[in-house]
Structures are given as C-alpha cells and as structure tokens.
Structure 1
Amino acid sequence: IHRAFIFGLYTGVRWCDTNQLTYRNVDYSTKTLRFQQQKTKDHSSRSWVIVPLNDTLIRLIGEPSDDNFDERVFKLPHYNICNLYLRKWVNEAGIKKKITWHCARHSFAVNVLTKGANIKTVSSLLGHTSIKMTERYLHVVDSLKQDAIDSLGEINYAPM
C-alpha cells in the first residue's frame, strides 16, 4: 500500500488505475507506463494515458515474478482498507488534515505545476480529456505569485 501511494504521488495515477496496473503496462525499454483509464467511459484513444518513468519509478514498480507480465504491480486490498492504512500513517506523522488516496493525485498535479510544468503537459499526464479539468489545480500555483513578489524584498524609494 505504501509503495502504491508513493507511486501515486510521483505519477498522479488514480487508485483505481494503480490497482489494475500489470507489468504488461510497463515498457522497460522505453521507460513508459501505458494504461487505459478505468474512470473514463469513453474508451477511445483519448482514454489511454502514457506516463514517462524515471529510474526511481522503475525501481518502485519492480520486476514481475517468473516473467508473469499479467501479474499486478501493486497487490492492493479494497480502496477503503487502503485509506484506513493511509489514515493511520497520517495520524502517526501528526498530520491533522484529512488525507485520502486522491490527495496523492492532487499533490502530484500541484507539485509539477509549481515546478514549472505547463498545464497541457499536466493535463495529459493526469489523463484529463480537457484542460478545464486541470485548471482547478492552478489556484494553488496562483497563490505562489504573491510569495514570488514578496521574496524580492523592500524597495527603499523616496519620491523626489
């Protein structure tokens, strides 16, 4: 469960999709993850998500046992059980905020936007069919604008 949640933090992949991932979805030669979203009703080419993987994510995914590429990457219990474990970890860390599995997806989007990724790229990584869905994450990035301006310090200017 822990490994799958970290995977969500670094890819933005939903729990329902993470739960269904098999090693067949991982192309180790091109370091990409390719899967069809569970949530999307439209199973056209738009519902496929392709996520580039780095070495850290490849290590997190691991290798199939006995070259069984139909084996699930993360052997997860029911969604509610996963959230119970997550709630336990959050409490042990002293975090008072309600954290759910979906928070990993939200954190991913906010973090990559904050680091400078453009909204179209983030929208594609999240598998959104339109940028409109991704725009809801921009309010966090907009709040950073004031911090950026404030970081410049005071101006010692006296009008003449």
Structure 2
Amino acid sequence: MAGEHRSTETYADKLEAFSLWLSSKRYSVNTIKSYMDAVRIFLRFMNGKPVEEIGQADFILFNNEYILKNGYSAAYQNQMVNGLKLFFSTVENRKIEIEDLHRPRKERKLPDVLSKLEVKVLLDSLLNLKHRAMLSLIYACGLRSGELISLKLSNIDEGRNLVLVKNAKGKKDRIIPLGGKILGILHDYIRAYKPREYLFEGQQASSPYSYRSLQLILKSAVNRAGIQKNVSLHTLRHSYATHLLESGTDLRYIQELLGHSSSKTTEIYTHVSTQNLQRIKSPFDDL
C-alpha cells in the first residue's frame, strides 16, 4: 500500500507538470481538459504502477481492455492516444509507438448540409431580432459558434464591410467580408440592443452570450421550420462553405474564409456538394 501511495503522489506531480506545460504552450482550455482527462483515466487504469515502469504492453492493454472493450468511438480513441503520446514525450521524455496501439483510421463522415431554401426558412422563422442576427451571422460568414459569441463590437468594421475574427482556432486571426444584407441586420440589431463590449451580450452586459442558449435558439428554430435533418450550429458553417463552392468560389478562398490550416480539411466540401453529381445522367434514363 505504501508503494501505491507513493505512485499516486508521483501521478499528481506528473499531472501538474503536464498541465503547466500545456498552459505554457497556450493550448486551448478544451484541449487541456481533454488531454488531462485522457492521462488521468490511463493512470487510474494503471492502478498505482510507477510511471517510469509503464511500458508498451501497458498501452496495448489499456487500448484493448478499456477503450475497445467499452466500445468507445474511433475519435475518442485517437484523442486518448494523442493525450498519452504528448504526456509521455513531454513529461517522461519517451515515445509511444502508436503503430502498436492498433490506432483506428479516421472515419470520413460527410457533414450535414442545408439547402439554401432550408437556411432561408430556418432564419425566417426567427422573430426575435437578436436571435436572427446571431444565426444569420454564423451562416453569412461561416463562423464557428465559439467565434460568434467571442465577437466584440469593435470587431465589426462597417466602413470596410468586414468582420475581424480574432484568436480563432489555431490562435489565428482572419478577416471575412460582410455583405449588404447581413450588414443591414447587424445595423438594426445594434441600434435596437445597443451592445457595449461583446457584439452579442449575455444576461450581464460585460459577458458574452452563452453557448447553451445559442443551441436552444437553433433547436427551436429548426422545429418551427419543420426541418427533419440533424442540424447543429456547425451545420450552418458547413452549409456556408458548400454553398460558396457550388456558386464557383475557389477552394483556396473558402479555406481562408473558414480559417482552415490545411486545404485537406476544406476539400471535404467537394464531396458534400451535389451540383456536379446532379448533372450526371443515369443510364437508366436511356432505357
């Protein structure tokens, strides 16, 4: 028992060191939480075994007896492997041979997309000006929900018809053009609600709108619009990108507008767009 107690203390020290390292590298709050949870779960599974004695066989055992046996998804498995790999490379200065962990291939799931008509019906169902402005801006600029609620009034440049998205995913800033229609909605909203700091304020003037409330607004609008698809806030972003592609916008510009680091991430929309597929004539029609 004494040995186990010493190991637990070591675990705590190692976890603290890992947390400090992640913070110093400016990983996002969500990423830090995911990686810390992954390491905690793994160390709990190790049941007090000293960290320096943990080897490749332990990783394989954890993969088979915890992740696979409990039926966790491929995405969860990859997240766990990423967290453990980083922990042992930074805190323990040794490498995990991930090839031995039977790491799953990433599932290529195509994102759900709404048609332009469905987007219009959805947005038209919003009678509250603030609610309509929020969801309209997500679609009009292809914003992530976190980017929307983090926007400040100063990020809207009405003179140049631009929105500046600061410190987005990957710690990058980007500029997105604002069309006349969305500018009109924003102008009406700002005049009516008079936000001070955040563009869309929460219950307190100095705090941003809550993500949960934004989700509920969308859910209610989807129900009112009678849309049967599985619609999330990110669906509006996917729809924006797909509609840009279908209207002839170059993929490189879409990548820039979405803030993707890799063009491979943006290329998924070439599989979602049905415009070219719809031009293909089935041989059945010639029978």
TM-score range, shorter chain: 0.7 to 0.9
Aligned partner of residue 149 in structure 1, secondary structure:
coil
Aligned partner of residue 176 in structure 2, secondary structure:
strand
Amino acid at match of 1:60: I
For the Cα contact (< 8 Å) 2:153–2:199, is it kept in 1? Answer: yes
Aligned partner of residue 33 in structure 1, secondary structure:
strand
Question: Which residue number in structure 2 is paired with residue 28 of structure 1?
Answer: 158
Aligned partner of residue 229 in structure 2, secondary structure:
coil
For the Cα contact (< 8 Å) 2:136–2:182, is it kept in 1? Answer: no
Over 3 Å counting, the alpha-carbon distance change for 1:9 and 1:79 in structure 2 is: same
Which is higher, the Rg of structure 1 or of structure 2? 2
Question: Which residue number in structure 1 is paired with residue 180 of structure 2?
Answer: 55
For the Cα contact (< 8 Å) 2:142–2:258, is it kept in 1? Answer: yes
For the Cα contact (< 8 Å) 2:245–2:251, is it kept in 1? Answer: yes
Question: Which residue number in structure 1 is paired with residue 277 of structure 2?
Answer: 146
Shift of residue 104, structure 1, vs aligned partner = 0.8
Counting only pairs closer than 5 Å after superposition, residues 1-160 of structure 1 correspond to structure 2 as 1-40=131-170, 43=171, 47-62=172-187, 71-75=197-201, 77-141=209-273, 143-150=274-281
Identity %: 27
Aligned partner of residue 232 in structure 2, secondary structure:
coil
- How far apart are the structure 1 equivalents of 2:162 and 2:195? 15
- How far apart are the structure 1 equivalents of 2:225 and 2:138? 19
Higher relative contact order (CA 8 A, sep 6+): 1
Over 3 Å counting, the alpha-carbon distance change for 1:124 and 1:92 in structure 2 is: same
Over 3 Å counting, the alpha-carbon distance change for 1:105 and 1:131 in structure 2 is: same
Amino acid at match of 1:72: Y
- How far apart are the structure 1 equivalents of 2:148 and 2:160? 20
Shift of residue 138, structure 1, vs aligned partner = 1.3
- How far apart are the structure 1 equivalents of 2:225 and 2:159? 38
- How far apart are the structure 1 equivalents of 2:232 and 2:201? 18
Gaps of 5+ in 1: 156-160
Shift of residue 62, structure 1, vs aligned partner = 2.0
Aligned pairs, number? 145
For each residue in 1:100-131, what CA deviation from the matched residue of structure 2 results, as whole angstroms up to 9, or x when unmatched? 11111011001101111011000000011121
Q: Could you state the TM-score of these two structures normalised by the residue count of structure 1?
A: 0.79
- How far apart are the structure 1 equivalents of 2:271 and 2:144? 21
- Alignment RMSD: 2.4
For the Cα contact (< 8 Å) 1:51–1:125, is it kept in 2? Answer: yes
Shift of residue 50, structure 1, vs aligned partner = 0.6
Q: Counting helix residues as a fraction of each chain, which structure ranks higher? A: 2
- How far apart are the structure 1 equivalents of 2:195 and 2:159? 14
Gaps of 5+ in 2: 1-130, 203-208
Shift of residue 23, structure 1, vs aligned partner = 2.0
